[in-house]
Amino acid sequence: MTPGQFPQHIIARKRDGHALTTEEIKGFVRGATDGSWADYQLSALLMAIFIRGMTPAETAALTDAMMRSGVVADLSSIRRAKVDKHSTGGVGDKVSLHLAPMVAVCGPAVPMISGRGLGHTGGTLDKLESIAGFRVTLSMAEYAAQVAKVGVALIGQTAELAPADKKLYALRDVTGTVESIPLICASILCKKMAEGIDALVLDVTFGRGAFMTEKARAVELARTMVDIGRAMGKPVRAVLTSMDEPRGRAVGNALEVAESLACLRGEGPADLMEVTYALGEQMLLMAGAAATAETARAQLAAGVASGAALAKFREIVAAQGGDVRMIDDPSRLPSARLQLPLVHAAGGFVHDVDARAVALACLRLGAGRIRAENPIDPAVGVDRLVKVGERVPAGGVLGVIHASDEAALADARAQLERAIVVGDQPGVPAPRVDQVIA
């Protein structure tokens, strides 16, 4: 190793605002993969990137190096179009759970590799693991076989796929470097480009509950990922969605699984289904399974109405070792020892529900991680949340807190009472689907 390849040299160059060379970026990714860089060195460069940013060329090089840190799946033997969806994160964002089977019953295959909770947002894998026995860790061979047979796989990163990202993802979560656009782009796209897809739809969130609180930053992120996808030969489309209030009425892992099951039964909250249909439309259009957004939505709705989408989710759970009894009877999902309705004595109109504040309350309950090694309590969180603009009668319930201990319950209650504002005039919810960037 020459002096210019030493970790401290690469860290210092980025610290001082220089663009890293492709070889320096490869060295960083190699160090994350083989352990030749210490965690504190990886963390230092992550922070330097967070502060100094990366050029488009650097971001593309980082994405490519992370993708090539492991194997790239070959799903070419599957004749159906293969399309995936990924969200940049939010509060109550359980869309992937019910969207994947909804799309799959319309024709395309959905190979979906997801992540765990990051910062204040929840993770698809953590939600799925609320289902007893559900295996999110499959080998690449098992993954390919399931996509071919079932048409969907809902898994996490395997040891073979983008191992550098798995390491860096965990460090970003605990070093305050989550919101960096280059790091978000590389983390998302390295996995997606390695999973064998033909096309990708991104749910790019903005607002208080998102990592990109400002819409302009979300647009920048969306355009960057669309451009990187194009440069790597994969069509990518981004749907911008608002995340000022939680998505749906439940936040917390098992509670969100139950809400996704309600969506598959045709009983999902309106705001959650609006976003679900918007993303599903784009997936079917990109897969060539529908000619217009209207026909795509009709196909998705028909899959729910017929019960085919719920049956497909049950098939996924069975294929990945989960207890299908929880799908047929959601009361079997993990349940918290303590459940407390949050009551508003005077009543009124819901003026605001602060998504980030709700997420932090659920984090206090144990629904997320403060440190990478922290366990998650799948049963805790809040459900029956009110939505902005709704009327609450005197003595009405603003939400139900699910907790495992009294101290956490008391803290979460105080946070939620500040997060939910009820007044004389109803608030106006932000448009849930803002625009499509293609």
Catalytic residues: 86, 165, 172, 187, 191
CA dihedral sign, ordered 302, 306, 310, 314: negative
From residue 288, give the alpha-carbon distance in Å to each of 256, 281, 344: 30, 11, 49
Residue 111 pairs in a beta bridge with 153
The two structure tokens encoding residue 115 = 């992540």
With beta carbons less than 8 A apart as the criterion, state whether 56 and 224 touch: yes
Token pair, residue 201, equals 């739809």
Strands 420-423 and 348-353: antiparallel
Q: What is the CA radius of gyration of the chain?
A: 21
Q: For the stretch 190-222, what's the b/e string if a residue is b when 16 or more beta carbons lie within 10 angstroms of its beta carbon?
A: bbbbbbbbbbbbbbbbbbbbbbbbebebbbebb
Q: Give backbone dihedrals phi and psi of 150, rounded to 5 degrees, phi first.
A: -95, -30
Could you tell me the two tokens for 258?
């139950």
Beta-sheet strand order (sheet of 420-423): 391-392, 348-353, 420-423
Residue 226 Cα distances to 69, 90, 215, 239, 340, angstroms: 22, 20, 16, 11, 44
Contacts for 56 with CB less than 8 Å, ≥ 6 apart: 224, 227, 228
